[in-house]
Chains A and B, each alone.
Chain A
Amino acid sequence: MLMNLFKFKGGVKPPTNKTQSVGLPIAVAPIPSRLVVPLHQSIGGTPRPVVQVGDKVLKGQLIGEADGWISAAVHAPTSGTVIAVDMQVQPHPSGLDAMSVVIEPDGQDQWIDRQPFDYTNAAPEAVREYLQQSGVVGLGGAVFPTHGKLTPSKTVPMEELVINGAECEPFITCDDLLMRERAEEVVRGVGIFRDLLKPKKVLIGIEDNKPEAAEAMRAAVQAIGEDFEVVPVPTLYPAGGAKQLIRVLTGKEVPAAKRSTDLGVQCFNVATAYTAWRAIAHGEPVVSRLVTVTGNVHTPRNYEVLIGTPMDELLDLAQPNPDTDGIIMGGPMMGFLVPERSVPVVKATNCLIAHNERLFPPKAPEMPCIRCGSCARACPHELQPFEMYWFSRAKNFGKTQEYHIFDCIECGCCSFVCPSRIPLVQYFRFAKSEIWAREREKNAADGAKTRFEFKQFREEREKAEKAEKLAKAAAAQAAKKAAEAAAAAASENTGENAAPAGEPAAPASVAVDAEKAAKMATIQAAMERAKAQRAAAQPKNTETLSAAQQKDIDDIEARRQAALSSVPPAESGEKTE
């Protein structure tokens, strides 16, 4: 079974610290005093609660209904009573609250009526929906709803199905133990994925530091009679990243902007395959998972833990040493310190590490970047982290995107190797969240702008309509007046021919073109009004004048009047205007 493996660039080799927690078999963690089950445990829409305070629930009963296609149902992890449906602190670095169902167990651990699902006779859509209803999500840590990844591309044939048993993060061994102890069910779960996606071959990648797991998987594949290939891959963090493992096993590189199915490949974690099988074959939705409890504890070990178990209760099982000063959820490369020790275990919780300063010494002070390029050589996505760092620091977010910041998988390799101890990943998370926030703001502002512009447009249109209406009314009025005037003039015309008032109007034509005459009349009237206004307006600097000054002005005015009366009227009109 020799296979040509590919390499991904970069990667680091942190001390693995895995042996501590593989010595003992998986233990079932006892039912805790209280379960806090967050509704939002996967990527996508937040499930809607379908239980109320006081409801009695059975183990596996639906408590949160999937909201939309990219969302997965949530179930009661044990039987008991719902004592609250409210906001609870989440296992998230920010310590944010989110809607959760709090269940007081009754200790019976009584299942719902479990029915296997005959998937071989069901349509693929029905199988996907069943997995969604069973709350099956990616248990490698990303918790993407599994059913959403089980549709092959319409145009590209599925070539490889990659099963991820690499488990590259230090300290974590839950997948290792799962494969050692429950290989058969994992392989059967892989069979479901294979039946849905119909790939040409199935590759199960396991880092070569887990020979026992690889052996167990190989034996299971053989026992079931499948043709899956179990492939040991070199131990190099982050070989267990989906894209890295796909690269190592198939040579394909999936860019951030593409789906792996577009390249004819798909990847699932071994624990996901296991839960899919439990759901299909036993009718058990995802209500528990394997969690490695390790670090600064007396007996590191893997536990099968009910979702919603408070982390401190779980940690106590492994007897943490008294100098434990925090709990890391996940591994030391990508995990985070939980905001409170009592936050619940969720579907994404693969590992709890009791933190102390001996295991994780405080970091040396940050120094300036010396552009040594170690980060670029360590980056598995072949990015230039130090360039993105400059631009993130300068808040030049456009440039960070030019350097492909969204291709960063935040694996931490760059921070790991940086001699200047710069928390590079932290800068990138900052830049990404700023870009998202600005995007949201921009969308909101664009919406507001559109609304404002439409309002302005509407107001202007209304104004224009009003003005038009007014003008029409005025014109009608003027026409009426002019007609009257014309009629009067016509009657006068018979007597006196040279009437001074009627000078601009041609009396004969008025009767013929009443509207034109009306217009002329209004213009004439306006001119008269303007003239009157001009005459009424006093010069501004003549308010405080002595009698002598006033007399001078009067004299000048008198002379001007005299002069004006001597020039032709047309010219004088021009001048005064």
Chain B
Amino acid sequence: MMFAPAPFLLKDTSVSQVMIQVCVALIPSILAYAWLVGPAILAQLVIATLAALLAEALMLKVRGKPLDLFLSDGSAIVTAWLIALTFPPLAPWWLVALGTAFAIVVAKHLYGGLGQNPFNPAMVAFAVCIVSFPALMSQWPSVGLELSLLDQIKVILGFGSPVDALSGATPLDALKTGLKMGEGTVTVSSLLANQEIYGRVAGRGWEWVAAGYLLGGLWLWHRKVITWHVPAAFVASLSLISGALWLYDPAQFANPLFHLLSGGAMLGAFFIATDPVSGCTTPRGKLIFGAGAGLLAYIIRVFGGYPDGVAFAVLLMNLCAPVIDLLTQPPIFGMKDKS
């Protein structure tokens, strides 16, 4: 007689279905990215995906895990796509490949593989690369750069013109540098008036990429892949701190909308801080996690030395997640109003 414990009926769901939905949710922003910033992102996505699958296969083989089962779970592809979307689109191919390999080998498999990593692998890759290759990680295509896809691929593969000639800072970084350079003489509003760089709200093109993350994130929420807690808390805390400082001195601090739509804020709020493996799991814990990440992201991006703070904010909150979970266990059925 066979042994099969109840329940005999299971919902039609799987890890790969969850991961595929995350990838689908990234598509609007990828389209906006390719259309408004440059098609190079497509090449980077391919490079990162290949690197991730290769590293994943290697580590699964080394660890003696079934290849087909785990390669098809889609988790490595999600990591790869997040890395491709956070790295500069014209970064050399090896930088993206190296970052991805580091994420999969060190941040994921050395900690025990799927479900065991205490830190978000994509953010580990970003942090490691920005510390190790600060120049390469800060060179973003300069505004209005017109390059064909072929030329962009040439740049990525190292055959094209030197990157320096083509690159600038991100709008977020440009604003920070601009404020520092013209100390006392420039204001946020005078800088933001340059629509060439900043577009309508928070960076030409980039604001639409951010809107794509928002759209995809809301879809994930609708699909119940993520809950509302982390994104809501992230957006709320980022808005509150940026709003408070903007009200205090609008000449020195950008408005909340600029912060929400620039850099990795939307990606972080909906796709990175919501990573269940490295984040919090209890409802209250998720609120604390999201709020902490939003606050830290603002502090690091405005007062710190890095162009954006989302990666470090999320990693710092990853560190706190186990303790937050421990302290925010919800009361169970029948034990709510009594001690």
* Chain A residues close to B by CB (< 8 Å): 8-9, 12, 14-15, 93, 95, 170, 243, 247, 253-256, 258, 325-326, 328, 330, 332-337, 339-340, 355, 360, 362-365, 367-374, 376-377, 380-384, 386-387, 403-404, 407, 412, 415-421, 423, 425-426, 429
> Is B6 in contact with A335, judged by CB distance below 8 angstroms?
yes
> Please, which residues of chain A bring their CB within 8 A of the CB of B14?
364, 367, 419-421
Q: How far is the CA of A206 from the CA of B75 in the complex (A)?
A: 43
Q: How far is the CA of A332 from the CA of B10 in the complex (A)?
A: 9
Known: A367-B15, A370-B15, A373-B281. A412 touches B334 (CB 8 A): no
> Please, which residues of chain B bring their CB within 8 A of the CB of A326?
1-2
- CB < 8 Å: which of A333, A340, A382, A419 contacts B331? A382
Residue of A nearest to B75 (CB): A370
> Please, which residues of chain A bring their CB within 8 A of the CB of B17?
419
Instruction: Give the top 4 A-B pairs by smallest Cβ distance, nearest first.
Output: A255-B334, A412-B7, A368-B115, A253-B334
Interface SS of B by simple majority:
loop
B276 at the interface (CB under 8 A from A): yes
- CB < 8 Å: which of A247, A333, A340, A403 contacts B6? A333
B13 at the interface (CB under 8 A from A): yes
> Please, which residues of chain A bring their CB within 8 A of the CB of B6?
330, 332-336, 412, 415, 425
> Is A368 in contact with B116, judged by CB distance below 8 angstroms?
yes
Q: How far is the CA of A325 from the CA of B69 in the complex (A)?
A: 28
B282 at the interface (CB under 8 A from A): yes
B332 at the interface (CB under 8 A from A): yes
Residue of A nearest to B278 (CB): A371
- CB < 8 Å: which of B69, B115, B334 contacts A370? B115
Known: A363-B4, A364-B14. A383 touches B276 (CB 8 A): no
> Is A337 in contact with B1, judged by CB distance below 8 angstroms?
yes
> Please, which residues of chain A bring their CB within 8 A of the CB of B7?
14, 332-334, 412, 415-416, 425
Shortest C-beta distance, B76 to chain A (Å), equals 13
> Is B114 in contact with A368, judged by CB distance below 8 angstroms?
yes
Residue of A nearest to B7 (CB): A412
By size class, the interface of chain B is: 35 or more
- CB < 8 Å: which of B70, B115, B334 contacts A256? B334
Q: How far is the CA of A271 from the CA of B14 in the complex (A)?
A: 38
Q: How far is the CA of A330 from the CA of B11 in the complex (A)?
A: 19
Known: A332-B9, A333-B6, A417-B13. A368 touches B113 (CB 8 A): yes
> Please, which residues of chain B bring their CB within 8 A of the CB of A369?
115
Q: How far is the CA of A320 from the CA of B335 in the complex (A)?
A: 46
Q: How far is the CA of A236 from the CA of B13 in the complex (A)?
A: 19
> Is A258 in contact with B10, judged by CB distance below 8 angstroms?
no
> Please, which residues of chain A bring their CB within 8 A of the CB of B73?
367
> Is A253 in contact with B10, judged by CB distance below 8 angstroms?
no
Known: A384-B282, A421-B14. A371 touches B276 (CB 8 A): yes
Interface SS of A by simple majority:
loop
> Is A383 in contact with B15, judged by CB distance below 8 angstroms?
no
> Please, which residues of chain B bring their CB within 8 A of the CB of A381?
332-334
B184 at the interface (CB under 8 A from A): no
> Is B333 in contact with A170, judged by CB distance below 8 angstroms?
no
Known: A254-B334, A420-B15. A367 touches B4 (CB 8 A): no
B329 at the interface (CB under 8 A from A): yes
> Please, which residues of chain A bring their CB within 8 A of the CB of B329?
384, 403
Residue of A nearest to B329 (CB): A384
Known: A337-B2, A363-B4, A370-B15. A383 touches B115 (CB 8 A): no
> Please, which residues of chain B bring their CB within 8 A of the CB of A254?
334
B330 at the interface (CB under 8 A from A): yes
Q: How far is the CA of A418 from the CA of B13 in the complex (A)?
A: 7
- CB < 8 Å: which of A355, A368, A382, A425 contacts B333? A382
Residue of B nearest to A333 (CB): B7
Known: A355-B8, A368-B114. A255 touches B333 (CB 8 A): yes
> Please, which residues of chain A bring their CB within 8 A of the CB of B114?
367-368, 370
Chain B 55-72 residues near chain A, CB threshold 8 A? 66, 69-70
- 22 residue pairs from A and B, CB less than 8 Å apart: A12-B11, A14-B9, A170-B9, A340-B1, A363-B10, A367-B15, A369-B115, A370-B15, A370-B114, A372-B18, A373-B227, A374-B13, A376-B282, A387-B281, A404-B335, A407-B332, A412-B6, A416-B9, A419-B18, A425-B5, A425-B7, A429-B5
Known: A337-B2, A371-B115. A360 touches B332 (CB 8 A): no
> Please, which residues of chain A bring their CB within 8 A of the CB of B115?
367-371, 420
> Is A337 in contact with B333, judged by CB distance below 8 angstroms?
no
New A-B contacts (5) at CB < 8 Å, excluding given A247-B333, A367-B70: A332-B8, A333-B7, A367-B115, A373-B281, A420-B14
> Please, which residues of chain B bring their CB within 8 A of the CB of A426?
5
> Is B334 in contact with A371, judged by CB distance below 8 angstroms?
no
Known: A9-B333, A326-B2, A337-B2. A370 touches B277 (CB 8 A): yes
- CB < 8 Å: which of A333, A339, A380 contacts B1? A339
> Is A253 in contact with B9, judged by CB distance below 8 angstroms?
no
Q: How far is the CA of A494 from the CA of B75 in the complex (A)?
A: 114
> Is A416 in contact with B276, judged by CB distance below 8 angstroms?
no
> Is A386 in contact with B18, judged by CB distance below 8 angstroms?
no
> Is A416 in contact with B69, judged by CB distance below 8 angstroms?
no
